[in-house]
Amino acid sequence: MQNFDYMTPTRLIFGEGVISQLPKVMSAFGKKILLTYGGGSIKKIGLYDKVKELLDGFEIIELSDIQPNPKYDPSVLEGVRLCKEHNIDVILSVGGGSVLDCSKAIAAGAKYDGDVWDLITYKVKAQAALPIVDILTLAATGSEYDSGGVISRTETNDKIGYMDPHLYPAVSFLDPTYTFSVSKKQTAAGCADAMNHIIEQYFCEDATLLNDGFCEAGLKSLMINAKKCLDDPRDYTARAEMMFACTLGCNGIYSLGNSPSGWPCHGIEHALSAYYDITHGEGLAIITPRWMTHILSDKTVGRFVKYGVNVFDIDSTLPPFEIAEKAIKATYDFFESIGIPMHLKDVGIDDSRISEMAHHIAVNEGLENAYAPLTQQDIEKILIASL
């Protein structure tokens, strides 16, 4: 077991109706709020009006239209500008992971005199950030309980995940009823994203029994509850369990003491989203089984056996490689069964930029240090197999 040093300072307030605590929570940070949100889903579900009603008496400046795969230009730049111009005290992010990630970048940029891209690319280390409170409306990324944000810069095809301890949300409101309206497409993509977060941590050199059990339970919970959410979008229990399982995905708790894995599928998927602006969870679902097939070897087969037997109840007496292949097929079949398009061509990606993307990933993602090291040629093969 590896050494670790762990702290997640975020306060989670979970359950139906918890938003009534919003005024008290916000007043601890000040009166001037930057309210950030996306393309309008929060207005459709009445959450925007509710927030405005609860925060009557606060000074609210708004940044709307934050897109999925949030963009440095205009959203992050505009948010930083608004914070500086209005001397904002706290950011309130209302929406999914994209709104929250954008808000994190804004929070750091608001306390920095130079170009916020310096922080995102780690050229300069953030010294401070505005506090962030979020009301999550989509179960997927885990951004509500981690210190990371992922920002895209269209002109350079960059999609960069950056982490900084200043970027943990101070408070995350998690009311599962706000996810009732999430579409089938985004529900399935959110499930695939959260499952992949666990898979990325599970496939590593050195794991504990405790973490393996935790990961296996997380994967089962996500698979069972995502199907229930798709069958009945207003199933509170299923939405609630899915929301909590997603929340735990990226803050490290699934893999404390494990050796690092390199998060290879995320490294590959971020390039797909950067070049083609696809839905993150769909890209991951497409890549994951092909990555699994590519890395299956004498060295890795033991992890696949454990995964197959404990997550998919595959007969443990079968030969190891047969279990592994069944486990990979079960992973693919599950994603397909929840309606995810399982080929890159289904999401508008052809072979024309595969080599360019493989090069971009190899140069920027450091996957030669992953659990199963990946060269540019390996990445290209995985992308071609995903077509």
Which position among 29, 117, 178, 291 is part of the footprint of ligand NZQ (CB under 6 A)? 178
Residue 4 phi/psi, 5-degree rounding, is -150, 160
Would you give the binding string for ligand NZQ spanning residues 32-51, x where CB under 6 A is met?
------xxxxx--x------
| Residue 76 C-beta: closest distance to ligand NZQ, Å | 12
- Residues 259, 371: Cα–Cα separation, whole Å: 9
Q: Which two tokens stand for residue 75?
A: 């959203």
Residue 386 binding result from Zn ion, ligand NZQ, none, given CB thresholds of 5 to 8 Å by partner type: none
Closest approach, Cβ 156 to Zn ion, in A, equals 21
Those residues whose C-beta lies under 8 Å from the C-beta of residue 230, and which sit 6 or more positions away, are 184, 187, 188, 338, 339
- Total site size for Zn ion, rule CB under 5 A: 1
Using CB under 6 A, which of 79, 131, 142, 267 touches ligand NZQ?
142
Phi, psi of 5 (to 5 degrees): -135, 110
Residue given tokens 């925060």 in the structure block: 55
Taking CB under 6 A as the binding criterion, the range among 84-92, 96-104, 225-233, 346-354 that sits at the site for ligand NZQ is 96-104
| Contact map string, positions 228 to 267, toward ligand NZQ, x by CB under 6 A | ----------------------x---------------x-
Cα–Cα nearest to 271, from 346, 338, 362, 203: 362
**Binding to ligand NZQ by residue 150, rule CB under 6 A?**
yes
DSSP secondary structure letter of residue 223: H
User: Which residue of 101, 134, 193, 378 would you call a contact of Zn ion, by CB under 5 A?
Assistant: 193
Which of 10, 36, 69, 288 touches ligand NZQ by CB under 6 A? 69
101 is an interface residue for Zn ion by CB under 5 A: no
Question: Residue 311 and residue 210: Cα distance in Å, rounded?
Answer: 15
CA atoms within 13 A on the CB side of 22: 30
**215 belongs to the binding site for ligand NZQ (CB under 6 A):** no
If one asks whether residue 10 binds ligand NZQ (CB under 6 A), the answer comes out as no
Greatest Cα pair distance in the chain: 67
**Residue 308 CA, distance from chain mean position:** 24
Q: Please identify, among the stretches 120-128, 133-141, 301-309, 340-348, the one whose residues bind ligand NZQ according to the rule CB under 6 A.
A: 133-141
Task: Give the β-pairing of 148-153 and 158-163.
Answer: antiparallel
In the complex, which residues of this chain contact Zn ion (CB under 5 A)? 193
